[in-house]
Structure 1
């Protein structure tokens, strides 16, 4: 008798909760053709082998949005399953340092207050962080 074994893949991803000088948070909408297209997220990307989450976020934000950030505080971790893919999303609060936003993996971005978060549809893995921000954590 053969067992049916599902294969799961885990991807470790960094997410940056970036604040500007006005205390607004940067969110970005995933463009068509990407997984979770049309949903909003806190920008970031896959953490490479040997890379810290903070270094990943600096690299990814420079590559994907052409901006420099400084991660300064661990915010939280969320494990989420999209079918057979297990995403471990590690979030850090970060300060916007410099640059003019140029989008690569997203089709829109916004600087918003935490009160405005409820107006956007976020990717499921990001929702626990949205709740934490709404609660002022």
Structure 2
């Protein structure tokens, strides 16, 4: 099983960062919460800080465990996706593994076609108290 971390990054307006996988990548065209594979000896928070700097050029601060989901992709890997809420701390977004990104209200996330492993987090966010 592959351990993967996903960041649910909030900006100061309460919007969440989502990104669309670019052509040529697995799950191309699907939206996701940014993150990446957890390396040996690394925890999910450290992974997210590293991945977001490498893949988007932004600094984040993970602050709260959000949940995890296991998913087996047809003909592909079995993953455990571990999600953490994080605060956007700065940096200008530069896309490498994605072709689009958006800051979206948690209540609007269900309008997007997400990668299957991310969908339980989309649903959980949409039903949190105070979400519009």
What is the TM-score with the length of structure 1 in the denominator? 0.92
Shift of 1:45: 0.2
Shift of 1:32: 0.4
Counterpart of 1:6?
A: none
Listed as ranges, the matches of 1:27-106 within 5 Å are 27-83=18-74, 84-106=76-98
Shift of 1:51: 0.3
- Is the Cα–Cα contact under 8 Å of residues 110 and 123 in structure 2 kept in the other structure? no
What 5-or-longer segments of structure 1 have no aligned partner? 1-9
The answer to which of 76-85 and 13-22 deviates more is 76-85
Shift of 1:119: 1.2
- Is the Cα–Cα contact under 8 Å of residues 11 and 88 in structure 2 kept in the other structure? yes
Shift of 1:21: 0.3
Rg larger in structure: 1
Report the Cα distance in structure 2 between the residues aligned to 1:109 and 1:53, rounded to whole angstroms.
Answer: 22
Counterpart secondary structure, 1:128: helix
The one-character-per-residue Cα deviations of 1:72-108 (angstroms, maximum 9, x if unpaired) are: 0000000000024101000000000010000010000
Report the Cα distance in structure 2 between the residues aligned to 1:124 and 1:95, rounded to whole angstroms.
Answer: 24
Taking only aligned residues, the RMSD between alpha carbons, in angstroms, comes to: 0.8
Segments of 4+ moved more than 4 angstroms = none
Shift of 1:123: 0.2
